[in-house]
Copies of this chain bind each other. A is one copy, B any other.
Amino acid sequence: MKAAIFNGPRSIELGERPDPQIQDPTDAVVRVVLGCVCGSDLWYYRGLSPHALGPIGHEFIGVVEEVGSDVHTITKGDFVIAPFTYCDGTCANCRAGWPSNCLHGGSFGNHGIDGGQGEAVRSPFADPTLVKVPGSGYADDMLRSLLTLSDVMCTGHHAAMSAGVKQGDVVAVVGDGAVGLCAIIAAKRLGAERILALSRNPARQKLARAFGATDILSERGEEATQKILDMTNGLGVDAALECVGTGQSMATAFSIARVGSVVGAIGAPHDVVVPMDTVIFRNIGLRGGVSPVRRYIPELLDDVLAGRIHPGLVFDFTTDLSGIKEAYEAMDQRRAIKALLRIGTI
């Protein structure tokens, strides 16, 4: 089969991989319908994070082609969403609601495990991992939104949940990538009354507004902080969502967070220093991390299927596997918010 292969920083090629096979009785093989490139893929693409050479892509939706003898709730022909990590559903972490930290799990598209930037994937632990989408005949817009449940929509939701966003809150979202934009959807969905989005890119600003941002700030750093403090009587926001993972974005998030609030952070950290004096002397907490996607999919799926949220709008660049290099380049150069890969048919 064809699949994108990571050969090292800035070297991603379309190559050949063996067709995935059932290896364990709990496996399923999924034929990928849609895949995409994640903002977090850019870290290793740019050489800033380690990543195994080989197959890549951790987000996909597809059709189940084959299941192992011990798979019972997922069957051949099911249309499924894959969370970006697989999980056994029974370990202590899974039982506690942290499937992305499954003791026997792992990530798709890393360490030799096929990923969503290829034609097919073997999913370990198919029953506890894959989520069947009910119904059939989905429009393209709906498929795009379903794909976001594989990662970015659930990750934006995790930022908001980690910060404890609640009815009536003033929320600030630091970061205008696909996850930051999805965090706006999540904050609105949880009842935020005012949502401040930090963005200086016109296309992203427009999408932020469409998703529910009430105020757009093009300032950065101390200027952004001052403006947000001015907008909140000097108090700061009820919830600051850190959706980048850099030192500056974390510093901004803490500087605008209200006393007693929690910074919700989901960015893979690069040179991030947590300002401990702010934590202790302003009682500002920090929560977040790798989203427990498998836990969040069911409730968000309901909203996607009912047309209440449209996270698929984050895809503003579409290609297929033959355009994989361009997909990475468009995101690397910030010409695209998120690149969709049309890989198969439903």
The answer to whether B274 and A93 touch across the interface, beta carbons within 8 angstroms, is no
The answer to whether B287 and A280 touch across the interface, beta carbons within 8 angstroms, is no
Say if the beta carbon of A260 comes within 8 Å of chain B.
Answer: yes
The answer to whether A286 and B285 touch across the interface, beta carbons within 8 angstroms, is yes
Say if the beta carbon of A182 comes within 8 Å of chain B.
Answer: no
The answer to whether B276 and A280 touch across the interface, beta carbons within 8 angstroms, is no
Instruction: Give the residues from 196 to 219 in chain A that come closer than 8 angstroms, CB to CB, to chain B.
Output: none
Say if the beta carbon of A284 comes within 8 Å of chain B.
Answer: yes
Instruction: Give the residues from 95 to 135 in chain A that come closer than 8 angstroms, CB to CB, to chain B.
Output: 96-98, 100-101
Say if the beta carbon of A33 comes within 8 Å of chain B.
Answer: no
Say if the beta carbon of A225 comes within 8 Å of chain B.
Answer: no
Most buried by B among A93, A281, A282, A285: A285
Identify which of B235, B262, B265 contacts A92 (C-beta below 8 A). Answer: B235
Say if the beta carbon of A255 comes within 8 Å of chain B.
Answer: no
Knowing A233-B92, A285-B288, the reply to whether A269 touches B277 (Cβ < 8 A) is: yes
Which residues of B lie under 8 Å from residue A262 when comparing CB positions?
285, 287
A288–B281 Cα distance when bound, in Å, is 9
A266–B279 Cα distance when bound, in Å, is 10
The answer to whether A281 and B290 touch across the interface, beta carbons within 8 angstroms, is yes
The answer to whether A283 and B279 touch across the interface, beta carbons within 8 angstroms, is no
Q: A162-B285, A274-B274 are in contact. List 7 more A-B contacts (CB 8 A).
A: A93-B235, A98-B259, A101-B283, A265-B280, A279-B286, A281-B290, A285-B285
Say if the beta carbon of A54 comes within 8 Å of chain B.
Answer: no
